[in-house]
Structure formats: structure tokens, C-alpha cells
């Protein structure tokens, strides 16, 4: 079986981390496979949304591969960190929504992978954490930078310095995930969100994601002007006319 399973369904690409015997730990081969899959999806107009999940019922990804880390010298660790960071930054900068469907443990590198995705839906049994400090290490795939931006510096400092995991309900309460879902709701909700995202106008989705991503780091006046320009550019694409026409005609739009 491939280390990364891929399945496409109605413009949604499902990527499954497939190392269940190692709780889907992120080794170099899996990071490279993910990086390649995301890069290919970026240029494929038939893919409008990506879902990343883990094989089995126990783990999304239980971290980086500790056995591999134990053998590394500082230079090898730098190369490994840059590989993971590059892949996760590729996800973060993608103009197509990526959902982390967190079905179990998301610890260390697995938590960092979820944080790099645009949306996070968690099974009620999922657990999140950055426990690297308990191994004499620190996050290496962006966790120390994305977590405080997502939940605030005070709570992020607590989770990183104590290395303490939180359950899915706690993660939802602090804004780390979009929703904590019970076993019956979990996968149908993932599929419903993915299909809804895939059904939106491609150019408008890309423009909106760019605005959301860049505007937060800009002064408000500049950000508002940037938004106005991106709004106007939507009208250069036929999907804008189709969407407004469909609304007036009380039907579902057929976007390109």
C-alpha cells in the first residue's frame, strides 16, 4: 500500500496518511509524498478542495518519526525541518481550501500539519498537542509560529512549554479547530464541507483566500483597498455573472 493514499471524488482530493502501524508518523518519505501531492493538486483545475486525514482509527499523525529524529545530527535536523516547513507552507499558501480531518492523535508534526490547513474538523476522540519539549526538542514545522497566531500567545505558550495535549472539545473552545464532532457526524460533515467548498467559484475562492491570508498583516486602510481590488477582479470572470444570474433566477449556479 502507498505511504500516502489518494482518492478523487467530485473535485475533492482525499489524501490519507497511510502509516497506521506507526500512528501515521511523519517520516521523510511521507513528507515528500505529501509535498508532491499538494504541488500537483495546485496545478490541477479539476481539484477544488483537498481533505487530509489519517489511516486507521487512532491517529491523524502522532508526530514526526521519533526513530528517524533520534539518528539526526544538527545539519540533518535542519534539512528535515525545512522539508516539513516547506510542505506545510505550500498547504498554507494554496489558493484551494484544505481541510484537516483529524480522526485521532494530532501531536507534534501532526498537530503542525493540521495547523497549516485552512480548516480543521475534529473527531471527538482527537487530541492535539506540541509535546516536543518533553523530548528535549521544540516544534520544527511551524507550530511555535502558527499556534500563537491562531489561539493567542498566552495559551500557545502554555501548550508549548508544558507539552500538554488537549482534547477535541478543548481545542474547539480555544479556536484551534472549527468543530468537534461525534462519531456519527464526523465523516459526513467532512464530506459535506468539502463538497460545498469544491462547488464554489474557483476564481472567487482563490481571491478570497488571498485576501484573508494577506490582509491580516496589512494596515486596515491598505487591506480594505486590497479587498476592493480583488472584489472588482471577480467581475472579470464569467462565474460572477453566472452566480448573480442564478440567484435572480432562483437556481443553483453552474460555475466553470
> Where do the domains of the chain lie?
4-198, 202-248
- The DSSP annotation for 159-202 comes to HHHHT--EEHHHHHHTTSSSEEE-HHHHHHHHHHHHHHHHTS-H
Domain 4-198 has CATH 3.30.70.420: no
Tell me the per-residue pLDDT of 100-149, one tens digit each, with 9 for 90 and over.
999 999 999 999 999 999 999 999 999 999 999 999 999 999 999 999 99
pLDDT per residue rounded down to tens, the chain (256 residues): 899 999 999 999 999 999 999 999 999 999 999 999 999 999 999 999 999 999 998 999 999 889 899 999 999 999 999 999 999 999 999 999 999 999 999 999 999 999 999 999 999 999 999 999 999 999 999 999 999 999 999 999 999 999 999 999 999 999 999 999 999 999 999 999 999 999 999 999 999 999 999 998 999 999 999 999 999 999 999 999 999 999 999 999 999 9
From the list 132, 225, 242, 249, the catalytic residue is: 132
From the list 32, 76, 92, 112, the catalytic residue is: 112
d(CA 135, CA 154): 22
pTM of the model: 0.96
Here the cell at position 71 is: 539518528
Side by side, which strands form the sheet with 166-167?
59-61, 105-107, 127-129, 166-167
Nearest to 53 by CA among 105, 1, 97, 131: 105
Q: Are 119 and 178 in contact (CB under 8 A)?
A: yes
Here the cell at position 158 is: 502554555
Identify whether 158 is a catalytic site residue: no
Identify whether 132 is a catalytic site residue: yes
d(CA 250, CA 247): 5
CATH placement of domain 202-248? 1.10.12
Amino acid at each position: 500500500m502507498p505511504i500516502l493514499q489518494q482518492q478523487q471524488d467530485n473535485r475533492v482530493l482525499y489524501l490519507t496518511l497511510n502509516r497506521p502501524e506507526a500512528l501515521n508518523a511523519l517520516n521523510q518519505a511521507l513528507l515528500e509524498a505529501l509535498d508532491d501531492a499538494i504541488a500537483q493538486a495546485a496545478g490541477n483545475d479539476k481539484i477544488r478542495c483537498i481533505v487530509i486525514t489519517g489511516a486507521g482509527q487512532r491517529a491523524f499523525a502522532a508526530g514526526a518519526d521519533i526513530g528517524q529524529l533520534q539518528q539526526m545530527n544538527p545539519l540533518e535536523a535542519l534539512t528535515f525541518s525545512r522539508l516539513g516547513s516547506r510542505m506545510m507552507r505550500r498547504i498554507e499558501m494554496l489558493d484551494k481550501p484544505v481541510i484537516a480531518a483529524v480522526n485521532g492523535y494530532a501531536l507534534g508534526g501532526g498537530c503542525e500539519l493540521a495547523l497549516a490547513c485552512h480548516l480543521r474538523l475534529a473527531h471527538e476522540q482527537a487530541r492535539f498537542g506540541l509535546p516536543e519539549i518533553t523530548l528535549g526538542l521544540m516544534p520544527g514545522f511551524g507550530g511555535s509560529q502558527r499556534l500563537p497566531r491562531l489561539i493567542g500567545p498566552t495559551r500557545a505558550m502554555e501548550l508549548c512549554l508544558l507539552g500538554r495535549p488537549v482534547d477535541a472539545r478543548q481545542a474547539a473552545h480555544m479556536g484551534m479547530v472549527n468543530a468537534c464532532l461525534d462519531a456519527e457526524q464526523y465523516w459526513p460533515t467532512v464530506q459535506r464541507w468539502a463538497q460545498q467548498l469544491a462547488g464554489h467559484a474557483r476564481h472567487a475562492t482563490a481571491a478570497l483566500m488571498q485576501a484573508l491570508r494577506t490582509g491580516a498583516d496589512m494596515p486596515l486602510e491598505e487591506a480594505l483597498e486590497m479587498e476592493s481590488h480583488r472584489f472588482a477582479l471577480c467581475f472579470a470572470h464569467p462565474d460572477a455573472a453566472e452566480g448573480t444570474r442564478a440567484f435572480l433566477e432562483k437556481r443553483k449556479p453552474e460555475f466553470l
